[in-house]
Amino acid sequence: MDLNGYVIVLEEDLLLRPLLERWLGEEGYQVAAPVPGGAKPALVIADVPDPRAAGALIRSLQEYAAPILLLSARFRRGLAGSTETARRLGVKKVLPKPFTREEFLSAVHESIEGAA
């Protein structure tokens, strides 16, 4: 698996963040904190409490020049809705919470592979 960088996880939930990092590590992804001027990340994963007010966050994440996967309990389930929401927000993919390990890793793979 060619990662061309690392994965940044921006999740404030202190129970969920370590779980996401463990799942990523088990799949061979390197998880790291954002490093100004460092290597380009392969993916930025961020939780958005309110997708309607996520514009400033999304703009700040675009500085990494990497695909963005947004997580939120406010996203609706369903492929068509998720695809349209991602397009509207200008990100690679969105994933509604709660999600399974398989759903999360599938979204990660699709976000990275689709960016190549």
Looking at the 3D structure of the chain, how many domains does it have? Answer: 1
Range of the domain at 63: 7-113
In a domain, 102, yes or no: yes
Q: Is the pTM of this model over 0.75?
A: yes
User: Phi and psi for 94 in degrees, rounded to 5?
Assistant: -125, 150
Note whether residue 2 is domain-resident: no
Give tens-digit pLDDT for 8-58. Answer: 999 999 999 999 999 999 999 999 987 767 778 999 999 998 888 889 999
Task: Summarize pLDDT for 62-116 with one digit per residue, the tens.
Answer: 988 999 999 998 887 765 557 888 888 999 999 999 999 999 999 999 999 876 5
Is 50 exceeded by the pLDDT of residue 2?
Answer: no
User: Does the residue 75 lie in any domain?
Assistant: yes
Q: Is residue 17 a part of any domain in this protein?
A: yes
Q: Is residue 1 part of a domain?
A: no
Give the alpha-carbon dihedral of 104, 106, 108, 111, to 10 degrees: -130
At 42 the pLDDT is 94
Whether 82 is in a domain gets the answer: yes
Nearest to 91 by CA among 77, 64, 102: 64
Q: Which residues of 7-24 are buried (b: 16+ CB within 10 A; e: fewer)?
A: bbbbbeeeeebeebbebb
* Domain CATH for 109: 3.40.50.2300
pLDDT at 4 over 70: no
Give me the DSSP letters along 6-34: -EEEE---TTHHHHHHHHHHHTT--B---
